[in-house]
Structure 1
């Protein structure tokens, strides 16, 4: 695709990157076949190829309209199109550039500005989010259904392992997971403990940056990145083996730190080191597969349906690892027919685009239920909460099942 960048973006980092990405696109349209919003809406501009054309026009100086912004807003950033693309177009990075431009050039309606500002200020701030979630869980039966859907039932926390081990790994606790689903982090630590690894958590680390980044608050998102690097750096200097991610959305974002901070002389090198160390929990446990089989035993749950989050299979390009691990432990893992498609959670998408989000959720649940599972498993807190809001079948993180299988 030929491009002729406008003066406002020519010879800038975003302009250079957008130009390189656009030139890889060959208009083949393979991406439309795997785009969830295109399948729902049938509009070329609500598919990757159409959005790429809109962004091309934008960076070449065309007027940016509210309609353009709407089509970019509807994108889930699931990156399924990247997995499909034969030319290696990095659509996820391109759409973030496009969104940044629209935020600069288009004034949103007041209601949207307010909602997005509240989300960007409230959700990543655990000091605000945690007490609000606790209150919501306490009065959950009294809440309207739409609000109740956003408040998962409170878990009874497991016990954090107290043993010390020579091998140590650092884990990102996350901003919402500790209050929404605390046992995901505790189960991760307990499984690693059973394998002879101590899990450390840097208390000053917070949101991975994804929420603010995808809402268009780029400068604040980069501050989140820098704060995490500062919190992790003493542990990195002390020699932790890895930075463990058990929320695939966070993992996909942290693995982009080097790219996002590439022009920051104070953090670029540190960000590269963070990316080198960052690994999804499934990547880590594969190295312990034989030991994991030895320290677990079969329980009553033997048939599960697995929803691989987009941030795991498309964002991090990690496919089949969770399924392999669970199968090695004697679990029958069933994938739905559309396992490559998004469930509609997509961070704050269910709040900013509820109609599309719930249509995708219901479609996903129909195909998960067709597998007749005892439990539905996933690998991201947002997906788990979103799916659970539409079904009575238990939905959990797969690491919770592995922890449940640990020998007493």
Structure 2
């Protein structure tokens, strides 16, 4: 793609990087076939190629973002399926991130849009505020208020969990010792939204790792990774949210040492592995690269240490594996979870159109509920065709997006691996046969 940036513009490192990304695009259109929003809407502006043109024009003209640019960039899920498909290696992720930063800084959104984004940015990364918001939401649901709502507010109520989990010991700072001879030492991301919604995920990961001889530390001061605010174009806010976690893990690396930083939420894992880019030009840039190099999805780490052996035959066998976009496209981790499940004695089946997003994508299902509903319905239809006993996924957003619409329980992969190797039955299956 030909670009027309001035020399003065190219003196800006971010614009120089954008110029390089844009020039790699050859207009082939392969991305359109795998883009969820284009598949649904059929609008060129809702394809990666179309968004690239919109972003190119906005950056070249150095003008405030127009409504059409904000509209179609907002509709992007950042599922990164286009990057998996692209034969030219276009770094769409960093281009759309840069566009979002500019839109956030320059575009004047409608009042309710600004209010909702501010609330999400403040509440979701803070477990205390998130629990309070969920409690207030449950009161609102009991009043019958959701029946009177439409659009985004109705979507927010529809995502409320049935129960609000109390803080778990596995999400508090501490060291969880290995059973038997210690084979390794890792830090685990406690996270922000996941401990509130499903604390059993990290609990299962810690139990499993401990049984495998791995000492696990929840580092003092580690919390949010910054992903939620970064995807809303609030890059500075994301960086400052992530910085305490960065330093907490650095202290562990420089102290007792870490073999890896294990992530059980693949959306967070994609962001953490990219911290070198987030902290570019920052005093902590080198540290961010060093810490990011230690980050592994839980499935990657389990494969690295030899997998998981089952202790007894499972009462259920057939599992439909839902590949979270952040894991398959963002981190390019696809065989590991399925290989681990098969090694634990499960029959794993793929879901048709597995490359298409389920519509969760961080806060996307709250900010773009119409597209999210269509993608959810499409994914649920494909899951139903598998005839599986259980659905497995590696990302909290996907679990929340899909549960409630399934005839089967949907469970984090690590909970199934923990169960197969001697841990308790996953909580999501307690009321299921």
Structure 2: gaps spanning 5 or more residues: 148-153, 424-433
Q: Distance in 2 between matches of 1:385 and 1:28?
A: 35
What do residues 296-354 of structure 1 show as CA deviations (whole Å, max 9, x unaligned)? 32221211111110000000011111011111111111111101110000000001000
Q: 1:155 to 1:403 in 2, by over 3 A?
A: farther
After the TM superposition, which residues 326-345 of structure 1 pair with which residues of structure 2 at under 5 Å, given as runs?
326-345=341-360
What do residues 175-227 of structure 1 show as CA deviations (whole Å, max 9, x unaligned)? 01111000000000011011001111124112111111011111111102212
1:363 alignment partner in structure 2: 378
2:429 alignment partner in structure 1: none
CA drift of 1:60 comes to: 1.1
Q: Distance in 2 between matches of 1:20 and 1:331?
A: 45
2:311 alignment partner in structure 1: 296
SS of match in other structure, 1:215: coil
CA drift of 1:51 comes to: 0.5
SS of match in other structure, 1:313: helix
Matched, 1:24 2:39: no
Q: Distance in 2 between matches of 1:100 and 1:68?
A: 13
Preserved CA contact (<8 Å) 1:151 1:180:
no
Preserved CA contact (<8 Å) 2:176 2:206:
no
CA drift of 1:12 comes to: 1.1
SS of match in other structure, 1:192: helix
Preserved CA contact (<8 Å) 1:133 1:179:
no
CA drift of 1:391 comes to: 2.5
What RMSD over aligned residues (CA atoms) do the two structures have, in Å? 2.2
Matched, 1:318 2:336: no
1:180 alignment partner in structure 2: 197
Say which of 363, 387, 393 aligns to 2:402: 387
Q: 1:8 to 1:387 in 2, by over 3 A?
A: farther
Q: Distance in 2 between matches of 1:380 and 1:141?
A: 29
Q: Distance in 2 between matches of 1:138 and 1:331?
A: 40
After the TM superposition, which residues 136-215 of structure 1 pair with which residues of structure 2 at under 5 Å, given as runs?
144=146, 146=154, 147-154=156-163, 163-164=177-178, 166=182, 167-215=184-232
What do residues 244-299 of structure 1 show as CA deviations (whole Å, max 9, x unaligned)? 001000000000001111211x2011111111110011111112335x21x53222
Q: Distance in 1 between matches of 2:352 and 2:327?
A: 17
2:299 alignment partner in structure 1: 282
Matched, 1:35 2:53: no
Preserved CA contact (<8 Å) 1:80 1:314:
yes
CA drift of 1:367 comes to: 0.1
Q: Distance in 2 between matches of 1:8 and 1:125?
A: 40
Q: Distance in 1 between matches of 2:125 and 2:67?
A: 27
SS of match in other structure, 2:109: coil
Count the aligned residue pairs: 405
SS of match in other structure, 1:190: helix
Q: Distance in 1 between matches of 2:390 and 2:101?
A: 39
Matched, 1:255 2:273: yes
TM-score (norm 2): 0.88
Moved more, 340-349 or 148-157: 148-157
1:122 alignment partner in structure 2: 123
1:404 alignment partner in structure 2: 419
Q: 1:162 to 1:141 in 2, by over 3 A?
A: farther
Q: Distance in 2 between matches of 1:321 and 1:66?
A: 42
CA drift of 1:112 comes to: 0.6
Matched, 1:378 2:387: no
Q: Distance in 1 between matches of 2:281 and 2:190?
A: 27
Moved more, 61-70 or 382-391: 61-70
Preserved CA contact (<8 Å) 1:308 1:379:
yes
CA drift of 1:102 comes to: 2.0
2:133 alignment partner in structure 1: 132
TM-score (norm 1): 0.94
1:85 alignment partner in structure 2: 86
Structure 1: gaps spanning 5 or more residues: none
Q: 1:139 to 1:45 in 2, by over 3 A?
A: closer
